[in-house]
Amino acid sequence: MTPKRILKYSYYPGCSLHASASEYDQSTRELFKVLNIGLTEVPDWICCGATPAHNVDELLSLSLCAKNLELAEKVDGDLAVACAACFSRLKFTQHTLEENDVKRKQVEKAINAPVKLDNRVKHLLEILARDLGLERLAAAVKKPLKGLKVACYYGCLLTRPPDVPNLDCVEAPTIMEDVLHAVGAETVAWSHRMECCGANFTLSRPGVVIQLSNAILESAKAAGADCFMVACPLCHGNLDIRQKEIEGVYNTSYGMPVFYITQLVGMACGLSSEKLGLGAMIVNPMPLLKEKHLI
Amino acid sequence: MSRIGVFVCHCGENISRTVDVERVAAEVGKLPGVAFSTDYKYMCSDPGQGLIKKAIREQRISHVVVAACSPRMHEKTFRKAVEAAGLNPFLCEMANIREHCSWVHEDREEATVKAIEIVGMMVERVKKNRVLPTITVPVTKRSLVIGGGIAGIQAALDIADAGHEVVLVEREPSIGGHMAQLSETFPTLDCSQCIMTPKMVDVANHPRIKLYTYSEVEHVEGFIGNFQVTVRKKARSVNEDKCTGCGVCMEKCPIRKIPNKFDCNLGTRPAIYVPFPQAVPNTPVIDRENCTKFKTGKCGLCQKVCGPGAIDYEQEDRLIVEPVGAIVVATGFDLYSITEKPKGSAIKGYGEFGHGKIPDVIDGLTFERLASASGPTGGKILRPSDGREPKQIVFIQCVGSRAREKGISYCSKICCMYTAKHTMLYHHKVHDGQAYVFFMDARTPGKNYDEFWRRSIEEEEAVYIRGMVSRLYQKGNKIVVMGSDIAVGVQVEIEADMVVLATAVQPRIGADSLAQKLGISYDKYNFYSEAHAKLRPVECATAGIYLAGVCQGPKDIPDAVSQASAAAAKVMTLFAKDQLEREPIVARVREASCVGCFACKKVCAYGAVEEKEIRDRQGNLIKVVAYVNPGVCAGCGTCQATCPSKSVELDGYTDEQMVAMIEAL
């Protein structure tokens, strides 16, 4: 085993984790506490621009993220990000500013500060699987998630575009599965791990989202999964909040709880359902967890 | 006293646009030692060269400086002209005022001043040039051909037919290469075996071709006209002289379930085998990894049943040294493996296509084996998973090719045509089936090629969908193909029974290590580099080594055959002379000051430095010094830079010449 070193990070929760995905935020903080990983919220962070900004104005979208990166430099350690969309934008900005000097100068002018890119942007998955390491993660498990069959859903943003996030293989990643295997869960092999759920069309074109998310639910169910694991508040919203509606439209029944990574890993590390915010889930996970003797 | 002539070229407008060439000629004319200077629009043209020759004769010019383009472009041209006028060609130097000056500057005044300085340096240098006599070396009129695919076979036959001996080395147990695996060939649909196997027989029967199969090039020494090649002949465990090719050993071998590589692992073969029935030579090989005799010491059945007693379990690898004068490299290709991402490779793999996980997702070469009359299904198109005939088949082009984000940016050139052929073969064999093709562009330049592609659509009813596929996944008995049709702008989903991927063509695995043995250059994909992309497409920069076939870049059969014949013609040109002339730009050792430290020997990449004993008249050893073999020396100058006692000088690039140039600045 590698020698223990103290891990600490600055933390960018992003807007969703302070609102609709507060249970993701809560479970992240609790899990990191249990794993003895330092987490300091970036002071005075602002919106990353998420999906709309880069469609409207490139400089604006880069500047919003660059401002957050600048703020994060004030805290020791790499920048931990939970939301897949925030992760994508911050990582993309870091990549662009490293590669393109002209844009870097424009952005520095816009935020009126020099851009330092010393600290890396890291997704929670990377921190768990690589920085902490699967061995140390497995050692922290108190209650292995035995018998739970999970469909790992990556969505669009975690690994794409090629050469930017460098989280894992772009089209056939295994990092979520690796983390879950370390905490004793089973994962299913299924077809729609990387497909789009419809994302923020959930408000403007719900019909599209219902169709796309149904395909995801259907294929995971067919592959024998009990539940989902996700890393993105938008994916979570579409699969969890809309699940009932989708079942109605397609006249079927899925009943598949949608967990965040930190909720499942936290559960294995012995955290209570209150601390993990399981009560905030729309599809009630309790019957499944009881059936598997996990609570 | 030297009488130097300086000739300043306009290069059309390439130089004169930014450099005042007339002023350069006038200014340089004032330098001491310069007897004549002039300018001309195209110095390399016939009248331009005439100008130089005339000046040499009429002005009694002793040294020449041509101020023009890079010496890489025209040094040979001008040295030839100078030689024709009666001067030693090495008394001519080029001052590069194009690449080093006019092309990279905008300010006319500054560029002109720089050009005058560049020419001035070369004037001082040429004063120190010595007359260098041409070096001649003998030529061994035998050729090595590496690789026994169609390119290697063609080159070997051409050279041998011209009356020269050929040593043909093939890694596999049989010659034939990929072409022997193909079913039918575009654009005529003639059977590949029918046109290939007679050529293989010609090779085997040719009195001047020495064939080494199941062999590899181990080591190469020497230089153009005089290579020493060590060939490793791997132990076949079968005596080739005794074996009659009756095949009883293969019938009786109890190990039968080894996947047959020749059939893309669709069929099986015994542990003693020939890769395919038409193999040349028709002598089996024992696969020692899978043979019970080699694994446990028991069995030995093949030896018992072999009438002529050809089975020899004790046989060992043999190393054979072959002297040759020229080498043709024709090592061919491998297909991009999308099953897994090769370790440490820039290639990213295609996890989203499930190849290797979904049994009915196959590559183009596997489809060739299915369609081949001599293949594992006898020419029937059947699914590897359950042996059913696929009624809906999807072909996906550009898998790996033209995909920068996957690590390969080039076009593999052959896939558009072979996919069109596949749709035809499929339609001929499965009449009620439907073929779909996902493509980016149809690239069909070639005689009768576009007509062939049109035929697959218009007569053979293949449906072409312009767009790429994002994902394949198994759904029950079907494979769901998710793609886009960019002509209509919609997402497409097809439930297919079988999917064929037109995977990219790559150089053979290990092409780089062979290149290092041969001392030839290769690109980032490991394709071997030709000396000039347009004007020397079959020669390597390393003299005496020639390229044929896909090892140099993706090619179809006619292109590979053409290049092979071209390489053979180059070899014949080389063999037309008994003695070879070499540029005398070689290193010389000043024996008086050499202390024999042999630092030069350590750094020489060409093995040109030898040890030479200096003895007095009584034969007593005085000292050992370095000696540079002028036949081997490539003139790189590394020894000159390394020598601590400054005892090595590279002719044409002496320290004296370099210092003179610097002092002129």
> Looking at the complex, does the CB of residue B480 fall below 8 Å from at least one CB of chain A?
yes
pLDDT at B336: 87
Across B383-404, average pLDDT: 95
Mean pLDDT of B216-233: 94
> What is the distance in angstroms between the Cα of A268 and the nearest Cα belonging to chain B?
30
Domains in chain A, ordered, with CATH?
8-123 (1.20.1050.140), 141-291 (3.40.50.11810)
Class of domain B142-234+317-332+508-575: alpha beta
Class (C level, CATH) for B334-506: alpha beta
Give the residue-averaged pLDDT of B9-18. 96
Distance from CA of A219 to the nearest CA of B (A): 9
Q: What is the pLDDT of residue B340?
A: 61
Distance CA B104, CA A49 (A): 44
Which whole number is the average pLDDT over B459-473? 94
pLDDT at B583: 83
- Which segments of chain B belong to CATH 3.50.50.60? 142-234+317-332+508-575, 334-506
Which residues of chain A are within 8 Å of residue B350 when distances are taken between CB atoms? 171
pLDDT at B291: 95
Task: Give A76: exposed, middle or buried? Use CB within 10 Å, 0-12, 13-18, 19+.
Answer: exposed
Closest to A78 (Cα-Cα) out of A136, A15, A121, A139: A121
Strand order across the beta sheet in which B463-466 lies: B361-363, B498-503, B392-399, B434-439, B463-466
Closest in A162, A192, A194 to B405, CB measured? A162
Q: Which of B341, B405, B480 is closest, CB to CB, to A169?
A: B341
- With contacts defined as CB-CB under 8 Å, which chain A residues touch B473? 191-192, 219
Confidence band, pLDDT 50/70/90 cuts, at residue B525 = very high
Residue B39 has pLDDT above 70, yes or no: yes
Q: A-chain residues within 8 Å CB-CB of B475?
A: 191
| pLDDT computed for residue A70 by the predictor | 94
pLDDT of residue B634: 83
- Give B591: exposed, middle or buried? Use CB within 10 Å, 0-12, 13-18, 19+: middle
Nearest CA distance, A81 vs chain B (angstrom): 26
Regarding the domain delimited by B587-664, which CATH topology (the fold level of the hierarchy) does it fall under?
Alpha-Beta Plaits (3.30.70)
pLDDT band at B345 (very low <50, low <70, confident <90, very high): low
Q: Indicate the residue of B352, B405, B475 with minimum beta-carbon distance to A172.
A: B352
Confidence (pTM): 0.82
Give the model's pLDDT for residue A264: 97
| Pairwise CB contact (< 8 Å): A171 & B350 | yes
Query: Which residues 190-209 of A are in CB contact (within 8 Å) with B?
Result: 191-192, 194-195
Q: Reply yes or no on whether the pLDDT at B473 is more than 80.
A: yes
- Total Cβ atoms within 10 A of residue B82: 24
Q: What is the pLDDT of residue B356?
A: 75
pLDDT, tens digit, 9 for 90 and up, residues A113-147: 998 888 899 999 999 999 999 999 999 999 999 99
When pLDDT is cut at 50, 70 and 90, the band that residue B347 belongs to is low
Cα dihedral across residues B141, B147, B152, B156: positive or negative? positive
CA distances, B641 to each of B95, B626, B654 (Å): 23, 15, 11
- CATH for B4-127 is 3.40.50
The candidate with the shortest Cα–Cα distance to B356, out of B367, B343, B341, B340, is B340
**Whether the predicted pLDDT of A1 surpasses 60:** no
Distance of CA A226 to the CA centre of its chain: 20
Structure tokens at B60: 């009694």
d(CA B184, CA B642): 58
* Mean pLDDT on B277-284: 94
Cα B645 from Cα B636, distance rounded (Å) = 19
- Distance to chain B for A205, nearest Cα, Å: 17
pLDDT reported for residue B343: 58
Predicted pLDDT of residue B88: 95
The answer for residues whose C-beta is within 8 angstroms of residue A105's C-beta and 6 or more apart is none
Enter the ipTM: 0.79
Residue B404 or B564, more confident: B564
Which residues contact residue A207 at a Cβ distance below 8 angstroms, ignoring those fewer than 6 apart? none
Which token pair is B127? 């004063």
Q: Is A141 on the interface with B (CB under 8 A)?
A: no
Confidence band, pLDDT 50/70/90 cuts, at residue A82: very high
Residues of chain A in contact with residue B349, where contact means CB-CB under 8 angstroms, are 169, 172
Nearest-CA distance A184 → chain B (Å)? 25
Q: Which residues of B touch A191 (CB under 8 A)?
A: 471, 473-475, 480
For residue B651, give the nearest of B634, B665, B663 by alpha carbon. Answer: B634
Residue B62: predicted pLDDT:
95
Q: Which residues pair with B437 in a beta bridge?
A: B395, B464
Phi, psi of A41 (to 5 degrees): -65, 135
| Contact criterion met (CB < 8 Å) for A191 and B352 | no
Q: What is residue A4's predicted lDDT score, i.e. its pLDDT?
A: 59
Residue B81 has pLDDT above 90, yes or no: yes
* Percentage with pLDDT > 70 across chain B: 98
Of the pLDDT bands very low, low, confident and very high (cuts 50, 70, 90), residue B405 is: confident
Mean pLDDT over the full length of chain B: 94
Structure tokens of B282?
């028709």
Contact yes or no for A169 and B349 at CB 8 A = yes
Q: Does A166 touch chain B (CB under 8 A)?
A: no
pLDDT level of residue B522 (50, 70, 90 thresholds): very high
pLDDT band at residue B341 using 50, 70 and 90 as cut-offs: low
Position A6 scores a pLDDT of 83
Of the candidate ranges B131-145, B187-201, B352-366, the one whose mean pLDDT is the lowest: B352-366
- CA distances to A77, A140, B79, B191, B319 from B182, rounded to whole Å, are 58, 56, 50, 8, 33
Between chain A and chain B, the number of residue pairs with CB atoms below 8 A apart is 28
Please state which of the ranges A75-79, A216-220, B221-225 shows the lowest mean pLDDT. B221-225
Task: Cite the residue boundaries of each domain of chain B with CATH code 3.40.50.
Answer: 4-127
Mean residue pLDDT across chain A: 93
Q: What's at B176, amino acid-wise? A: G
Residue numbers in B near A219 (CB within 8 A): 473
Q: Which residues of A touch B351 (CB under 8 A)?
A: 169, 171-172
pLDDT of residue A295: 83
B473 contact A CB<8A: yes
Q: CB-based contact (8 Å) between B468 and chain A?
A: no
Asked if residue A2 has pLDDT above 70, the reply is no
CB A75 within 8 A of CB A40: yes
Secondary structure of residue A106 in the 3-state scheme: helix
Residue in A161, A169, A191 closest to B473 by CB? A191
What's the CA gap between B147 and B217, in Å, rounded? Answer: 10
Percent of chain B with pLDDT over 90: 88
The pLDDT of residue B594 is above 80: yes
Choose among A170, A194, A195: nearest Cβ to B348: A170
Q: Is B264 exposed, middle or buried (0-12, 13-18, 19+ CB in 10 A)?
A: buried
Q: Is B325 an 8 Å CB contact of chain A?
A: no
